Amino acid sequence: MKKEIKALFKNNPGMRLKSKEIAKMLDVKDDYAYAEMKHFLFKLTEEGFLEKTGKRYELIKNDAEKLIGIVQIINQGDYAFVTMNSSNIKDVFIAGKNLGTALDGDKVEINLVDTKRGKNLEGEIVKILERGRSEIVGTLKKSKASFYVTADDDKVHREVFIANENLKGAKIGDKVVVKNLFWELKHKNPEGIVSEILGKSGSYDAEIASIAREFNLPYKFSKETLREAEAISDQIPVSEIKRRLDLREKNIITIDPDDAKDFDDAVSVDVLDNGNYKVGIHIADVSHFVREGTHIFDEALERATSVYIVGKVIPMLPEKLSNRICSLVPNEDRLTYSVIAELTPRGKLLSYEIKKSVINSKRRFTYDEVQKIIESGKGEFSEEILLLNKISKTLRANRMKKGSINFFSPEVVFKLDKNGVPLEIKIKEVRESHNLIEELMLLANQIVAGHVKPKKNQLGTPFVYRVHDTPDKEKVTEFARFVKSLGFHFDPSAANKSKQFQTLLDEIKGTEEEAVVNEIAIRSMAKAIYTTENIGHYGLGFKYYTHFTSPIRRFPDLIVHKLIHHYIDKEGKNLSLEELEEICDHSSAKERSAISAERESVKLKQIEYLKSKIGEEFHGVISGIMHFGIFVELSTTLAEGLIKFRDLDDDYYSFDEKNYCITGRRTKKRYRLGDKINVRLIRVDQEKREVDFILSD
């Protein structure tokens, strides 16, 4: 009996079992055997093999055997998943009642319970090992008896109690930062202390500060960093110009969005006597000004990226550098790093050089201005622009033939008033002028990455790559099933899946399903990351790829400048593989935070825009289906809202997760992911960041 009990717990290390459950699993039926089992349970507890909590027994585990992971709260605490440290166990489902005092992002220890939820094991949280967040941001409110803060992030599923003595001057309606979170008893609310007042809730500055704090993005530079930036001279020493390739007399131009303030790339083109093209991609030499061991360098590393919140930029570098000294403004000498490539008319790369240079941009173009020149064939520098566009189209066609996938994620642009209130939302149009610049930047990034590729029988050179892994087979199969439900074809077993993806994306181009199919396709892919280990870029179809072209706004690009300068000119300090790996991991994590913050800022502005449209009807596409309702993305603004099942009053609908749809039991009416529907806006809650629709008659 003792051996059987030990074997049971060893084979089920995460389970917490009552005596009767153990008896059932061991097939103990008569009273004598049950008493014997209870005796050995007591003995095994005394021996330190088992631990008894309440009526449940569990195996005492050493640290290596404990089930540890990170909590992801879903639907305001209705349930959660714990992403396990162990690669042997997939995400574990946690019912709301078994969350204990866990908050989103916490590192926790769990036990498994004797059930399974769908594909996932089910568990309960038994211990909080480490809090995932040191602060929350939210709005201060008051009930009859006490003050409390409702968090902006809906993953903080409980209101935080604030004692009177911990208000620190905050008033009802203020957007505040709360620290020193304390939560020991599940039946009581967490407690905290107001550490900072960001402004009046709903004000533009307070919302920006709130998003920055929510995603742990520093939005103010330290005094030391600003002091260092101010001390940098605007003047380029003659000695520095003499060390560089002097391109100041060349026709070099920049092409950027209307509202851009930092210009970190410029382009040029010449026709050679042999009929080939000499294309120049000139990138701001930020590395000349941002040196290791300075506060500017350290803070740029910490930020890792600029963040583009609607109507506001949280820059990686102080404004004096990003908008002035490093920015390739017209008619000013600027230090650059140039990739100069010789291409045949068919786009074949024959030779290249990578040189420190100095340029003087002759014209700052917007995308709209360049588009007009492409369409009319007339305008300043039209000869260069038309030739660059021709080259770009050739490079793009070659890239697509080799298996590059042209994913399209539609974006919105906002027209704001002086207070940041959205007046208009439009879907951003991607035109030839955008593609012109994109293809030339891809070319430069490939050339730089390929330059440091290891020679035969040699170890690789420490470098920063931008890689994209092949998609997970299971996710690709799921994607194929989804597009089939929409009436499209995708073969998950095809040898060339990238061609399959591109054929499908071409087929749905311009349709209303385009956005949702692209979104699901992107989700089925691995995420692109920075790493020192080159595995190629699956989405682009490149064997070697890096980020070199945006050092004003991306730290990995700045590091690549330093590395390539060291390898080519044998100058500057080289970074070790370990240092680069740390930079890569940190930059990838910061990039994910920045993307989340940018998306949240777009969502907030969409919600703010919709609050004056209550009662209006909209056309949309079903973008998601969950057990509690249907998500709908509006076609004109890409704003997303929810139709709750309780508001579908014509029938009782069953959720079919496998077929991405819901079906009425009586009417057999079916709504699928990707379906086009008309909806009426009935509710907008800015504070909870929620939008509710009902079906329009």
In a domain, 323, yes or no: yes
In a domain, 688, yes or no: yes
Q: Which residue has the tokens 């039991």?
A: 665
In a domain, 503, yes or no: yes
In a domain, 415, yes or no: no
Q: Which residues pair with 653 in a beta bridge?
A: 664
Q: How many CB atoms lie within 10 A of CB 459?
A: 7
- Token reading at 250: 């060349």
How does residue 114 score in pLDDT terms, banded at 50, 70 and 90?
A: low
Q: What is the largest CA-CA distance in the chain?
A: 101
Which span out of 378-387, 477-486, 616-625, 644-653 was modeled with the highest average pLDDT? 378-387
Same domain, 542 and 578: yes
* Distances in whole angstroms, Cα of residue 494 to Cα of each of 384, 438, 480, 515, 652: 42, 29, 11, 24, 40
* Per-residue confidence (pLDDT) for residue 278, from 0 to 100: 98
* Per-residue confidence (pLDDT) for residue 454, from 0 to 100: 66
Same domain, 452 and 589: yes
Last residue of a domain, one of 348, 380, 402: 402
Query: Does 298 have pLDDT greater than 90?
Result: yes
CA dihedral 39, 45, 50, 51 (to 10 degrees): 120
Separation of CA 153 from chain center: 16
* Per-residue confidence (pLDDT) for residue 501, from 0 to 100: 86
Q: What angle do CA 218, 219, 220 make, to 5 degrees?
A: 100
Mean predicted confidence (pLDDT) in 572-596:
92
Q: How far apart are CA 358 and CA 356, in angstroms?
A: 7
Q: Which helix (H) or strand (E) holds 643?
A: strand 640-644
Last residue of a domain, one of 564, 598, 632: 598
Chain length of the chain: 697
Phi, psi of 384 (to 5 degrees): -65, -45
The DSSP result for 369-417, as a single string, is HHHHHHHHS-STTHHHHHHHHHHHHHHHHHHHHTT--------EEEEE-
Judged by average pLDDT, the poorest of 242-251, 275-284, 665-674 is 665-674
Q: How far apart are CA 641 and CA 631, in angstroms?
A: 6
Last residue of a domain, one of 130, 153, 178: 130
Same domain, 121 and 139: no
Q: How far apart are CA 73 and CA 295, in angstroms?
A: 37
Same domain, 373 and 296: yes
Domain limits for position 90: 67-130
Amino acid type, 24: K
CA dihedral 210, 213, 219, 224 (to 10 degrees): 140
Q: How far apart are CA 372 and CA 132, in angstroms?
A: 50
Q: Which residues pair with 73 in a beta bridge?
A: 80
Tell me, what CATH number does 153's domain have?
A: 2.40.50.700
What string of H, E and C letters represents the secondary structure of 64-119?
CCCEEEEEEEECCCCEEEEEECCCCCCCEEEEHHHCCCCCCCCEEEEEEEEEEECC
The DSSP result for 604-617, as a single string, is HHHHHHHTT-TT-E
Same domain, 388 and 468: no
Q: How far apart are CA 350 and CA 329, in angstroms?
A: 31
Q: Which residues pair with 525 in a beta bridge?
A: none
| Residue 335 CB-half CA count within 13 A | 26
Query: Does 411 have pLDDT greater than 70?
Result: yes
pTM of the model: 0.81
Mean predicted confidence (pLDDT) in 557-574:
91
Q: Is 354 exposed, middle or buried, given 0-12, 13-18 or 19+ CB atoms closer than 10 A?
A: buried
Mean predicted confidence (pLDDT) in 352-368:
97
Q: Which position has the higher pLDDT, 411 or 60?
A: 411
Q: Which residues pair with 108 in a beta bridge?
A: 69, 128
* Per-residue confidence (pLDDT) for residue 460, from 0 to 100: 66
Q: How far apart are CA 278 and CA 352, in angstroms?
A: 9
Query: Does 618 have pLDDT greater than 70?
Result: yes
Query: Does 602 have pLDDT greater than 90?
Result: yes
Task: Please list, residue by residue across 150-189, b when 16 or more beta carbons sit within 10 angstroms of its beta carbon and e when fewer do.
Answer: bbbbbbbbbbbbbeeebbeebeeebbbbbeebebeeeeee
Tell me, what CATH number does 31's domain have?
A: 1.10.10.10
Same domain, 592 and 482: yes
> pLDDT (tens digit, 9 = 90+) per residue, 309-322?
998 899 999 999 99
Are 19 and 41 spatial neighbours (Cβ–Cβ below 8 Å)? yes
Nearest CA among 152, 156, 100 for reference residue 132: 156
In a domain, 427, yes or no: no
Q: What angle do CA 385, 388, 392 make, to 5 degrees?
A: 135
Q: Is 668 exposed, middle or buried, given 0-12, 13-18 or 19+ CB atoms closer than 10 A?
A: exposed
How does residue 118 score in pLDDT terms, banded at 50, 70 and 90?
A: low
Q: How far apart are CA 14 and CA 6, in angstroms?
A: 13
Could you give the number of structural domains in the chain?
Answer: 6
> pLDDT (tens digit, 9 = 90+) per residue, 443-501?
999 999 999 876 655 556 899 999 999 888 888 888 888 888 878 888 887 767 788 88
Fill in the DSSP letter of residue 287: G
The DSSP result for 588-638, as a single string, is HHHHHHHHHHHHHHHHHHHHHHHTT-TT-EEEEEEEEEETTEEEEEETTT-
Q: How many CB atoms lie within 10 A of CB 422?
A: 21
Amino acid type, 211: I
Average of per-residue pLDDT values in the chain:
90
- Token reading at 86: 């162990």
Amino acid type, 665: R
Mean predicted confidence (pLDDT) in 193-201:
90
Same domain, 363 and 504: no
Long-range contacts (CB closer than 8 Å, 24 or more residues apart) made by 35-39: 36/1, 37/1, 37/5
How does residue 223 score in pLDDT terms, banded at 50, 70 and 90?
A: very high
Amino acid type, 337: Y
Tell me, what CATH number does 665's domain have?
A: 2.40.50.140
In a domain, 604, yes or no: no
Amino acid type, 109: E
Which span out of 111-115, 486-490, 513-517, 630-634 was modeled with the highest average pLDDT? 630-634
Mean predicted confidence (pLDDT) in 548-564:
97
Q: 135 Cβ partners below 8 Å, 6+ apart?
A: 177, 178, 179, 181, 195, 213
Same domain, 579 and 616: no
- Token reading at 186: 């599940």
Q: How many CB atoms lie within 10 A of CB 608?
A: 20
CA dihedral 604, 607, 612, 617 (to 10 degrees): 160
Mean predicted confidence (pLDDT) in 340-352:
97
Phi, psi of 214 (to 5 degrees): -60, -35
Q: Which residues pair with 284 in a beta bridge?
A: 336
* Per-residue confidence (pLDDT) for residue 284, from 0 to 100: 98
| Residue 247 CB-half CA count within 13 A | 29
Judged by average pLDDT, the poorest of 72-86, 319-333, 382-396, 556-570 is 72-86
Mean predicted confidence (pLDDT) in 653-663:
86
CA dihedral 434, 440, 444, 445 (to 10 degrees): 40
Query: How many distinct helices (H) and strands (E) make up the chain?
Result: 16, 34
Amino acid type, 438: E
* Per-residue confidence (pLDDT) for residue 88, from 0 to 100: 67
> pLDDT (tens digit, 9 = 90+) per residue, 156-187?
888 999 999 999 999 999 999 999 988 888 88
Same domain, 535 and 671: no
Long-range contacts (CB closer than 8 Å, 24 or more residues apart) made by 26-35: 26/1, 33/1
* Per-residue confidence (pLDDT) for residue 459, from 0 to 100: 57
In a domain, 398, yes or no: yes
Same domain, 584 and 457: yes
* Distances in whole angstroms, Cα of residue 239 to Cα of each of 182, 242, 243, 355, 571: 59, 5, 7, 16, 16
Mean predicted confidence (pLDDT) in 93-120:
83
Positive or negative CA dihedral for 577, 581, 583, 587? positive
Same domain, 15 and 102: no
Are 407 and 519 spatial neighbours (Cβ–Cβ below 8 Å)? no
Same domain, 570 and 674: no
In a domain, 501, yes or no: yes
- Token reading at 254: 């920049």
